[in-house]
Amino acid sequence: DVVLTQSPLSLPVTLGQPASICCRSSQSLVHSDGNTYLNWFQQRPGQSPRRLIYKVSNRDSGVPDRFSGSGSGTEFTLKISRVEADDVGVYYCMQGTHWPPLTFGGGTKVEIK
Amino acid sequence: QVQLVESGGGVVQPGGSLRLSCAASGFIFSNYAMHWVRQAPGKGLEWVAFIRYDGSYKYYVDSVKGRFTISRDNSKNTLDLQMDSLRADDTAVYYCAKDPTMVNPRSFDYWGHGTLVTVSS
């Protein structure tokens, strides 16, 4: 199974400052069809998860452009250019390249300092 | 707009059974694969099961194989999860989630609000 390791586990951030979350995979997430099926999800307190980014860097409809995804192969990053209060929650990376099973990272908790 | 509404959660004794349902609306249900994903209290997300758009292929996480069965009724726009031989470590919020594709599991572009399953004596 593909293991996704996120860092840091906890990320205290000052409002208006940038934040960055790393996701490392135990094997390359490049699929034989040329796509890399790496996704990012946000889970605000008490809410269901919401997809932010798919295929490494594609933002979902309605996701603010302060969120961006990058990376390749086994190393990926989610960046928030300027953290807002609404961004508090847990962020998960997830891979859909090698399955079953589909796997998630352990999560990164973003909180305001 | 896409809506996924789960039901059927509750408290069940170890070894018991429960059937979860998910009512889908706002999209052509029969054109998309579907999943169940769970989250134990205070823990992260875990993918549980997948079913293709037409029900022809199903996949499960190892820990539920032989105990859980995913199914769908495209005429009623519903997704089900039959859970048998339940264990304490099956306690979780169970989410119904839509895949953006028909055939192969890739992602979850819409999620329901979840239904809580508690396995306890």
- Note the pLDDT tens digit of each residue in B28-86: 999 999 999 999 999 999 999 999 999 999 999 999 999 999 999 999 999 999 999 99
pLDDT of B12 reads 98
Q: Are B27 and B98 in contact (CB under 8 A)?
A: yes
CA gap A5, A57 in Å, rounded: 18
Instruction: For chain A, give the percent of residues with pLDDT over 90.
Output: 100
CA gap B35, A4 in Å, rounded: 20
Residue of B22, B34, B45, B61 to mutate for A, most A C-beta atoms under 10 A = B45
Residue of A nearest to B49 (CA): A101
DSSP-derived pairing of the beta strands B115-119 and B10-12: parallel
- Note the pLDDT tens digit of each residue in B74-87: 999 999 999 999 99
| Pick from B100, B105, B109: CB nearest A102 | B105
